[in-house]
Amino acid sequence: MNSGAVVQYRGIKNTNDQSDAFHLAHLMRLGILPTGYIYPKQRQSIRDLLRKRLQMVSHRVTHMLSAQNQLWRTTGENLTNKYIKKADYSLLSLVDDRNVKAVIKANLDIITALNELIPKLKK
Measured distance CA(64)–CA(110) in Å, rounded:
9
CA distance between the termini of the chain: 34
Nearest alpha carbon to residue 20 among 1, 39, 38: 1
Residue 26: predicted pLDDT: 84
Residue 111: predicted pLDDT: 94
Q: What is the DSSP string of 69-80?
A: HHHHHHH-----
Per-domain residue ranges for the chain?
Answer: 1-37, 41-122
* Mean pLDDT, contiguous 10-residue spans, the chain (123 residues): 60 73 84 83 92 96 94 86 84 91 94 94 82
Residue 33: predicted pLDDT: 81
Beta-carbon contacts of 12 under 8 Å, excluding residues fewer than 6 positions away, are 19, 23
Residue 11: predicted pLDDT: 61
Whole-model pTM? Answer: 0.69
Q: Mind listing the pLDDT tens digit for each residue in 36-67?
A: 788 899 999 999 999 999 999 999 999 999 99
Residue 7: predicted pLDDT: 64
Residue 5: predicted pLDDT: 57
The overall longest dimension of the chain from CA atoms, in Å, is 67
DSSP state of 14: -
- Whether the CB-CB separation of 64 and 111 falls below 8 Å is answered with yes
* Number of Cβ within a 10 Å radius of residue 45: 10
Cα dihedral angle (113, 116, 118, 121), rounded to 10 degrees? -120
